[in-house]
């Protein structure tokens, strides 16, 4: 089920949403400019590494900054074109309405808190992993969670692959995003018993989604959308 667009126009231009997308693209272009060894070093420096967080006291040269700054920096890094495009596509479709509801400043805060919180959840469930976790998916998942509870009946045009036939239909946002969350949840539950590390950060998605639902209920709506 691939969302193509929603039928829920926002009342303001999504300046922050567009800026976040452009920033992610620029950072990814910088990643492409690096050589293989430089890129690996860059991702290990600015990606969230759970084992580094859990055992920072035992790692020589470990400081508060180089241990915890990646909780912020990692949400602007991506591991490939598909990773980047998928995250930014979801943000483009659903981010404008949440930005419109919260206002620009609160949306920035909301997005960053969801991203950082999702990384914390990932670290908790993958404490022995030495693989850098990068990507905006946790923050974007927060946007999806907020959208689902704020605009549950908004119509979303989706593409559904049915073997050799691809069907386009409109479904309520609660169905589209609820289905997305169920996939993340069952995949995350399966990953707990898996002996293989790496791959998709399912628990970052789950944590970001739930945090987005909680935050959108607690953030006051802006009277002036600045």
Tokens at 157, concatenated:
């045009």
How many Å apart are CA 108 and CA 211, to the nearest integer? 15
* Residues 149-204: tens digit of each pLDDT: 999 999 999 988 877 777 889 999 999 999 999 999 888 888 775 545 556 788 89
Burial (CB count within 10 angstroms: exposed 0-12, middle 13-18, buried 19+), residue 26: exposed
* Residues 111-161: tens digit of each pLDDT: 999 999 999 999 998 888 888 899 999 999 999 999 999 999 999 999 888
Question: Do the domain assignments include residue 226?
Answer: no
Give, in order, the Cα–Cα distances in Å from 93 to each of 21, 96, 206.
12, 7, 19
Helix axes 81-102, 15-33, angle to 10 degrees: 160
pLDDT at residue 224, rounded to an integer: 47
Question: Do the domain assignments include residue 128?
Answer: yes
How many Å apart are CA 64 and CA 53, to the nearest integer? 10
Question: Do the domain assignments include residue 15?
Answer: yes
What is the residue range of 133's domain?
Answer: 2-218
Phi and psi at 137, nearest 5°, equal -60, -35
User: Who wins on pLDDT, 84 or 52?
Assistant: 84
Q: What is the CA radius of gyration of the chain?
A: 18
pLDDT at residue 58, rounded to an integer: 64
pLDDT at residue 221, rounded to an integer: 62
Question: Do the domain assignments include residue 29?
Answer: yes
* Residues 34-73: tens digit of each pLDDT: 988 999 999 999 999 888 888 766 666 677 777 889 999 9
Burial (CB count within 10 angstroms: exposed 0-12, middle 13-18, buried 19+), residue 102: buried
* CA proximity to 210, closest of 161, 141, 155, 160: 141
pTM to 2 decimal places: 0.90
Question: Do the domain assignments include residue 187?
Answer: yes
Query: Which residue in this structure is represented by tokens 């995003």?
Result: 177
* Residues 85-98: tens digit of each pLDDT: 999 999 999 999 99
Tokens at 74, concatenated:
């990692």
State the CATH number of the domain containing residue 125: 1.20.1540.10
Question: Do the domain assignments include residue 106?
Answer: yes
Burial (CB count within 10 angstroms: exposed 0-12, middle 13-18, buried 19+), residue 111: buried
Question: Do the domain assignments include residue 223?
Answer: no
Q: How many domains does the chain have?
A: 1
Question: Do the domain assignments include residue 108?
Answer: yes
Per DSSP, the chain holds a count of helices (H) and strands (E) of: 10, 3
Contact status, residue 111 vs residue 143, Cβ threshold 8 Å: yes
* CA proximity to 90, closest of 102, 101, 98: 98
């Amino acid at each position: 089920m691939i969302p193509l667009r929603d039928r829920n126009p926002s009342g303001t231009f999504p300046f922050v949403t567009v800026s976040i997308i452009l920033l992610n693209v620029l950072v990814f272009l910088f990643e492409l400019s690096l050589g293989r060894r430089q890129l690996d070093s860059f991702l290990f420096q600015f990606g969230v590494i759970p084992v580094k967080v859990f055992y920072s006291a035992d790692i020589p040269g470990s400081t508060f900054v180089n241990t915890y700054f990646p909780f912020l920096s990692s949400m602007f890094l991506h591991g490939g074109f598909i990773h980047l495009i998928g995250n930014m596509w979801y943000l483009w479709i659903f981010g404008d309405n949440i930005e419109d509801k919260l206002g620009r400043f609160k949306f920035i805060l909301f997005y960053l808190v969801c991203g950082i919180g999702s990384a914390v959840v990932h670290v908790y469930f993958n404490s022995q992993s030495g693989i850098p976790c990068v990507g905006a998916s946790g923050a974007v998942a927060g946007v999806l969670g907020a959208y689902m509870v704020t605009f549950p009946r908004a119509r979303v045009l989706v593409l559904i692959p049915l073997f050799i036939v691809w069907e386009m239909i409109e479904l309520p946002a609660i169905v589209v995003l609820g289905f997305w969350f169920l996939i993340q949840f069952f995949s995350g539950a399966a990953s707990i018993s898996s002996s293989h590390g790496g791959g998709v950060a399912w628990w970052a998605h789950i944590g970001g989604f739930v945090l987005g639902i909680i935050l959108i209920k607690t953030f006051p709506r802006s009277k002036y959308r600045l």
